Every structure is written in C-alpha cells, then in structure tokens.
Amino acid sequence: MKRYGIIFLTTLLGLGAVAAAAAGASIFGSKGSISVERLAHRVQPNTAFRPAISPKDLKGVNFESACDFTHRNTDDAIVFPKQPGKSHDHSYFGNSTTDAYSTLRSMKNGSTNCDQPGDLAGYWVPTLLDPQGNPVEPRRASIYYRRKILEPLQSFPAGLKLIAGDSKATAPQDPDITFWNCGPFVNMQPSSTIPKCPDADKKSLGLQVRFPDCWDGRTLDSPDHKSHFAYSQRYHCPADHPVAMPMIQLIVRYSVTGGAGYTLASGGQLSAHADFFNAWDPAALKNLVDSCLNALKNCSSS
C-alpha cells in the first residue's frame, strides 16, 4: 500500500501556508440536511517514515491526552449544529467552549484542560444517569491516540468531525468499538451493559469507545458522521478509505459503582457512543503523530 501525505486547502482548514486548491459544499438528505465540506487535495508519497515490519511493532505505540470533565449541555455541534437544546444530554472533555454553535474558529479561540497543551479538540459522550435520573459527573477522560496500521499515519485534518458507536443501539454493540468495564485493576471481561463494580473509591466504572482510523481523504464530515471513515482491517486501510490515521481510544472514568439502575442520556445502557471535533494545534498534533506513532514509540505514562 502506498504511503500518503496530504496537502489540505488553506482557507478550508486554517493550516497556514499549505498548497491550496478548491472547495465546495454538498447538501445530503431531505430530513435534517447537513453541509459537508469537501477537500481538494493532492496525495504524495510519505518518505519520512518506513512502514512497520509486522503487527508486533505496533504493540504499545501511542500517546495520551488526558482531559478533565468541562461541562454538560443538551447540544451536539456535529449532529445538530446551531440547534441548541435539541440533543440528549452530553458530558464534555477538552475544549471548554463546545456547544451547538461551535466551529473550528471558535474552538481554536477557546481553552483546554487537557494535559497536552495543543489539544483544543472537543470530545463528548452521552451523560451517565444514576438510578434516580441524576447526571453523574465523570472523573476524567484518558484519550489514547494509537497506531493500528502498518503504513505511516497522517494527522487528522483541522475541523474533522467524527462519531463512533451507535446512539440508537438497542442491542449489544461490537466490543471492538465500545464497552464498559471496572478499570484496569478489576479482572472482568468487557461488558455491553453497565457492570456493578466492587469499589467506587478504588476502582471506577469505565466507558471505552474506539474510533475508526482510515479516512476517505475527501470529507471532513459525512451525512451519518461516520461513513467518511472506516476501521482498519488486518493492519491496513481499505481501498475506499486509503488514508491511515491514528485510532482514538476514549476512556471515561466515573466514581460510582454502576449497576442495573444506571442509564445513558441517549437511552438505556446499550447506546454508548462518542464524538470528536478536531481543533488540535496542527503542528502539535503532527509532532506527536510523527515522533510517537510514526516513530513506533510509547509516549504515554500508562
């Protein structure tokens, strides 16, 4: 498989002096229509890094952006842009300004509580509700950027929007995409439902969501906010989504034991999902992708 380098449109992405081409907008669907930005770009071979030799080379290759809980609201800048209060309740991490009116520009002018100073991205999940229907404030989100592809990776383009998991699920989802557990110190299998954890003071209920890592190379969003991406298979990207990207693994921890009475604001216990709106400083993100992921290094503390 070829290794890809991408030059993005300056006025569309705000990346500075990068080669410019042309841009347009497409409207999809008649119900809840959305505008999707299309990128005119040129793909070049990436000669800076060699491919990994085998899947063993990818073990433990990652960097982490640990972000505190910032706020809650019933907005969704990806699914319901400019429509405040139309969504179920969300819990946010990272960028402190994320709401229904968020744009790449507004988020770049915001602040972050992530320990990676360049991470101005917005991350959000449906709010967890206790048995009385009260919101449970998350402790923190550990956001791992991992390499699961043999070919060298590209950085996410600025303004990219992406959802992983199914907010309407009424049956167990693929555990390779999302699951619950009770933290790294409790020996238990991943669960599609919210487990009862042994001790909220020492171990914490956790939700994990894994994002896809292969981009179509053309669109910052898609009508379902998913189909512009695909999950890699056997350490390679499919031909229709050829651009290799980091795999984001978002882990949210709560200081509660969980159990049968807990639900998600999106409905029941099976509707876990997460949203990602990329507003990283491009240079900071590229440095981490290249110096950690493309260099086959573990740059996180855990």
Q: Does the pLDDT of residue 295 top 80, yes or no?
A: yes
Name the nearest CA neighbour of 161 among 198, 212, 234, 110.
212
Q: Strand (E) positions, 132-268?
A: 135-136, 138-146, 161-165, 178-181, 205-210, 214-215, 229-230, 243-244, 247-254, 263-264
Q: What is the pLDDT of residues 186-228, one digit of tens each?
A: 888 899 999 999 887 777 899 999 999 999 999 999 999 999 9
Q: What is the pTM of this model?
A: 0.85
* Neighbouring residues of 184: CB distance < 8 A, sequence distance ≥ 6: none
Assign 22 a pLDDT band (cuts: 50, 70, 90). very low
Q: What is the mean pLDDT of the chain?
A: 86
> What pLDDT is stored for residue 201 in this prediction?
72
Assign 302 a pLDDT band (cuts: 50, 70, 90). low
Assign 11 a pLDDT band (cuts: 50, 70, 90). very low
> What pLDDT is stored for residue 7 in this prediction?
33
Longest CA–CA separation in the chain, Å: 56
Three-state DSSP state, 58: helix
Q: What is the pLDDT of residues 60-85, one digit of tens each?
A: 999 999 999 999 999 999 999 999 99
Q: C-alpha dihedral over 218, 155, 62, 53, to 10 degrees?
A: 80
Q: What is the pLDDT of residues 40-54, one digit of tens each?
A: 343 444 556 878 889
> What pLDDT is stored for residue 50 in this prediction?
74
What distance in Å separates the CA atoms of residue 108 and residue 123, rounded to the nearest whole number? 14
